[in-house]
Amino acid sequence: MISRAGLLREIAAGLAAAGLDTPEREARALLKAGLGLSDLDLLARAEEPVAPADADRLRGLSARRAAGEPLARLSGRREFWSLDFALSPETLVPRPETETLVEAALDLFPDRAAPLAILDLGTGSGALLAALLSEYRNAFGVGVDLSHGAARQARENLVRLGLGNRSAVLVGRWALALAGRFDLVVSNPPYIPSTDIAALEREVREHDPALALDGGPQGLDAYRALAQSLPGLLRPGGRAVLELGTGQEADVAALLAAAGLPPDGPARPDLAGIARAIVTAAA
């Protein structure tokens, strides 16, 4: 039987041959996820044998990774805001830049004990909603998604994280299923122009759901729907935080301003310096 160290070297070599930028790091992550190991297990018990069935399964996963399937899809899990989320084919893989929305919301409502009503439109895996509920211990949140599969996965994640009694997940198109008002509305909508989908990285265009990516001809369809809905969703003093695609700040700001909710200053940048989270002024 091959050892953990031997399998690590074998998989890393295969990923390097496939042109991946960090083959050893990816091979290590694959073994940790596939065998349920910690970093310590790999370091201190590197010579322990791997059962043939497990080795074959990991070789199959590494072949899929070499063909462009993201590690998060292979493991079925992704961390966001230090929380662990299960994924489904209908959900986006949560990305670090989306944490910029959480940071912006925390700045808007610094009282973590506030009994906020939070709405996440296009909730996907429920990552944004769960992150906010984990910070606001007295808040109640509603997630909405057009995809039944995504809504089901979001609900499962919220329950597993102990947030099920402070949340609800609905299936619907944006705000059409809603009648209440909220203190905070967040959304990471589809914002990729339709003609740009084919040019996305392979990991995204082949493995993320098109429903969560395609924002229409200019990438603004979802923002138009959100701008129309937000005035009827926000309580007095309520705020909305929307994720932006690269170069979309001016267009989205104009849509919000036309709806009577002009942005509260420049969009908050992510760690790469890209304008990522646009915040509406208080309604």
- 200-209, 236-245, 263-272: range with lowest mean pLDDT: 200-209
> Residue holding tokens 């399937």?
69
> What would the two tokens of residue 224 be?
């138009």
Q: What is the pLDDT of residues 181-220, one digit of tens each?
A: 999 999 999 998 998 888 888 778 878 888 888 788 999 9
Rounded to the nearest 5 degrees, what angle is found at the Cα of 96, between the Cα atoms of 159 and 99?
A: 65
Query: The sheet that has 167-171: what strands, in order across it?
Result: 167-171, 140-145, 117-121, 182-187, 234-243, 275-279, 268-269
Helix (H) / strand (E) element for 78: namely strand 77-80
Mean pLDDT computed over 16-41: 86
Q: Give the residue numbers of the binding site.
A: 122-126, 145, 174, 188-191
Distances (CA, A) of 116 to 139, 143, 174: 5, 14, 20
Closest by CA position to 123, among listed 149, 104, 103: 149
In this prediction, residue 215 carries a pLDDT of: 86
Closest by CA position to 229, among listed 213, 219, 240: 240
Q: Give the residue numbers of the binding site for substrate.
A: 188-191
Q: What is the pLDDT of residues 91-148, one digit of tens each?
A: 989 999 999 999 999 999 999 999 999 999 999 999 999 999 999 999 999 999 999 9
> What would the two tokens of residue 93 be?
């893989």
Beta bridge partners of 121: 144, 187
- Please state the separation of Cα 147 from the chain's center in Å: 15
In this prediction, residue 152 carries a pLDDT of: 96
Ramachandran category for residue 210: left, alpha or beta (phi over 0 → left; psi -120 to 50 → alpha): alpha
| Residue type (1 letter), 196 | D
Residues 6+ apart with CB under 8 A from 163: 130, 133, 134, 141
Residues in the chain: 283
Q: Give the residue numbers of the binding site for S-adenosyl-L-methionine.
A: 122-126, 145, 174, 188
Cα separation, 71 vs 29, in Å, equals 8
DSSP secondary structure letter of residue 281: P
Q: What is the pLDDT of residues 158-182, one digit of tens each?
A: 999 999 999 999 999 888 878 789 9
Q: Is 230:199 a contact under the CB 8 Å cutoff?
A: no
Mean confidence (pLDDT) of the chain = 91
Closest by CA position to 154, among listed 80, 226, 220: 80
Q: Are strands 117-121 and 140-145 parallel, antiparallel or unpaired?
A: parallel
In this prediction, residue 188 carries a pLDDT of: 96
